[in-house]
Structure 1
Amino acid sequence: RMNYIYDNKYYLTFTMRADGSSRFNWLPGAKNQQWGYFPSAVAAWSLKGEDFLKDNTTVSEMKLRLGWGQTGQQEGVADYGYFANYSMSNGVNGSFYDTAKDGYLARPNAYNPALKWETTTTTNVGIDYGFLNSRVTGSLDVYYKKTTDLINYAAVAAMSNFRNQVNQNIGSMKNVGFEFAINAKAIQTKDLQLTLGYNLTYNKNEITDLIDDDPNYYVATGGISGGTGVNCQAHAVGHPMSSFYVYQQIYDEAGKPIQGAYVDRNGDGTISEKDKYFYKSPNAPWTMGFNARLDYKNWDFGFNLRANLGNYVFNDRMSDYYNVGTSSLFESVSGNYFNNRPKYSVEYGWNAYDASSYLSDRWVQNASFLKLDNITVGYSFQNLFKCGSYDGIAGRLYATVNNVFTITKYKGIDPEVFGGIDNSVYPRPFSMVLGLSLSF
C-alpha cells in the first residue's frame, strides 16, 4: 500500500492485493488460476483547504473522491474442485469393482479445472461534506460495478463430467447506483442532545452476458421444495440476477386462481416451459435506514428503523401449503375432507399434479418492508458509593427491545429473506434485554 499527500489537500492511495486459493487450479500446465491480483487506487481533493473555502464558516468539510479497484470472490466453491477426487467406500452404488472385496473406488466428484476467480471492478465518484462546524455531515457516492467470470452452478454437456451441473464461470453482470448518508446534531445543549441519521441506497443490477450466446439461454437457480429439481429463478441476459422465472397465473371472475391455467405467452396453443417469463427480482433497488438518539442529562433513548423497497420473495411455504397430493385432500374411504388438512388446499382444491403448480407467479409476492430493529433506553451514573478518595462506581443501566415490529404486505412469516426464496417456518425472534455495565 502506498499513500501520498501533498499540501494537506491532495491525496493519492494505491494498493495491490494478491490472494491465493486452493479452490483454483495450480497444477502444471494450468494458467495459474490459483492466484488473483486485485489493485485499487483512490484520489481525493480537499476543497476545504483551498482559498475559496478555507475561511468559510458554513462549510466545515468538503472533499471530492475518485476511486477504482478490483476485488475477488470465491464463495460457494469447494476445496480442490479443479481435479478429480476419489473416495473409498464399501457400499453397492456405482461400484467399479467387486463389492465382495474390501472396498471400491467410486466415480470422482464433479470438477472443473478451468474455474477461476470471480472479479468485480468498481469505479466510484464521491463527496464527503460537513456544515455548521460539523453539526451536519455525510457523503454521496455514485458507482458502477462490473463483475466478470461469475461463479455459479450451470449445466454441462452430457458425458463431459460426472454430474449434469458443475461450478463454472458463467458470464458477467453490472451494478449501477448511488449511496447517500447524512447525520445531524439537531439539538446540542448542555443537558439535551438529539442526533439523527439517515441513509439511502439505490442499486440496479443486470446480467450482461452468459457463456451461451443463444438469446433464450438462461442458467437455472433457486431450487424450491416443491417437486423434484424445480427452480423458480434464473440468470439471463438483460434481467437482474436470480430473477423469478415463472408462469403467468390466470384467475377466474372472482379473482380466484385457476390451477393449471396460465397465459400462453408465445401463442403456440399449449402451455410449456417456453411460456415462463421473468417476473420481478429478489433484490431491493431501494434500501434506507433511519436512526435517532436523544440524551437528556443522564438518560438516553435511541432506535433504528430500516426499509427495503421493491424486492419480491417466492413464498415457498405457501406454495407447499396449497400444492399437496390428492391423498392429503380427500379421505380414501368416504371421500370427505379431513378436518386437519391444510386449509389453503381445501379452500382452493389444488393438488400437486405437475411442476407448473409450484411455479405460478402468484407465489412471487411483494416483500417491501419497514422494520423497527431496536429501541434502547438507558440511564448512566457516576460516583455511586463514593467515599473519601474513592471515586465510587460508574455504570449504565439499560433496556433494549429487538425486532420490535415489521410493516409489510408480504404474506409469509418474514419478508427479509436472503436469496428471495422463503422456505422457513421459524420467525425472527422478538427479544428484550436488560443490562447493567459497571466500572469500579
Structure 2
Amino acid sequence: MSNSARRATIILGVAMAIVLVASAVLPIFSSTDTTVPQQQIDPTDIPIPTFPPPPADFTSITFDQVYLHPTGMFTVAQPNGFRATQPSSAVNRAQINLNGDDTLTVVDTYIERIDAPLSLEALSVRFNQSMLGATWGGFDDWSEADRRFEGDRLLIDFNIELQNQNYVARQETWTEDGLIYVARVLTPNNATGLLRYLLENISATINPLDAFLDTPFNWNAHYDPLFSHIVRFPSTWAVVDSAPGRPTSIVDAQNVALRLEVESGVSVADEAAATAWVADARPGAQVISVEPVTRGDVSGYAVAYGYRTPDGEPFSGQAVLLNGLDGSLHSANVQFPGDQIDLNRVRTTPIQPSPLLPQLGPAFVIPDANPVGAAESTIAQVMSTFRIIEPLNLSADAIPAGFEPTATPTFTPLPPPTLTPEIPAEATAEATAEATAAPEATAES
C-alpha cells in the first residue's frame, strides 16, 4: 500500500473514532445537568479517501510469469506487483483473483466447461442482471454502463462504488472448444488506460491445460517445477511429502498411496524393462498387464500389478513410466486395496461429459476385466492425468513451498492501448476489491 493510501486510512480511522467517542460521551454529560444550555456543534466533514495517480508507464507492468491454478486446469499471466488471492473451483469451473494493491486494481479470470455451444447472444443472456448482481454484491453500488459485441467477444462495462470511491470495470467473455472464458479488470475511475492494458494482456494469456478438460475441475494438481511433470487428484487426497529433487507422496484416507519420482539417465525401452522396473520397486509383485502409453510428446508404459502385504491383505497397483525427453524416467506409482485390479483395463470419461471436449476414451470396463467400483475408476482417472508438460515460468504465488522459481520467459506484453474512449468496466464474480484509501480520483479526459 502506498504511503498516501496509508495516511488516508489513518485519517478515516481517527475521524470515525472521534465520532464514536462523541456519540457515547455527550449523552452522559447532558444527562447530569439538564439546565446547562447545549451548544450546537456542526459536524466535521469526514475526509473522503482519494485514489493514487495511475502508472505513467504501463510497460513497467510485465507478464513474463504465469500463475498455475491449484486445480491445474489453466494458467494465466500474473502481472508483476499483483498477488493471487481467492482461488476457487467447482465441478466445471476454476477461477482466480489477482490483486494489485498499489494501484487498487483487481483482475479476475475463470474458465467454465459447457455442454452445448453458445452463441454470443446466448452468452449475453447468460450474464443477466441476476448473475451480475451476485458478482458485484460485495460492493456498495454498481451499474452496467455498456454492453456490446466485438468480433467473437462479449464486452460489458460497469461503474462501481465502494467506500465513497468510484471504480470502473470491464468484463471480456468468449467461448472456445467447450469452454467459457471470462477476464475481468477493475480499476479506479482515473485509470481506464490501465484497465484496457491489463485486460488486453490478461485475456491473451488464459491457457487451459487441454489434457485435463474432461476431468473434474474441482480436483487439485501437483506440478513439480523442477521436473515439469503434473498429476491431478481429488481434493480429498493430500500431498504429504514433497521437496525439490525428491519423490512426492500423495495419499487419501482409503489407503491409496501415489508416489511420483524421477530417475536421471533411466528409461524403459520395452515391456520387459517396464516389468523389471515394477519387480524392483515392489518385490514379489505379480504383473497383470503392460500397456504402451503416450502422453503428449512423451511415451512409455503402464504396468498393472498385484501383491499382498506382510499381513496377507491384497493390494493392487499401477506404475505409469514415462521416458522424458531429457533422458530421465518419470514415474507415477499408485497402490490401493483390492485383489488383482487391472487399471489398464479401466477406461474413464468425464463425470459430466461434454460433446464439445475431446474424450479420454469410452466409458466402459473391458468385459473380461475384474469388476471395479467408483473408487477404482477414480484412481484410473488420476493415473491418466500424469504427464510431462512444457516448463512453466511460475510466479512466486504458484511455486510450491521449498521450490525455487526458474526463468523461462513465456509471454511478451501487448503495447499500451492508444486512443480508446474512456470506459467503465467490470470486476469478477467472486472478486472482492481490496481497495484501500489513496490519493484523489479525477476523471480521465
Q: TM-score scaled by structure 2?
A: 0.19
Q: TM-score scaled by structure 1?
A: 0.19
The structure having more radius of gyration, on CA atoms, is 1
- Greater per-residue strand proportion: 1
More contact order relative to length (CA 8 Å, sep ≥ 6): 2
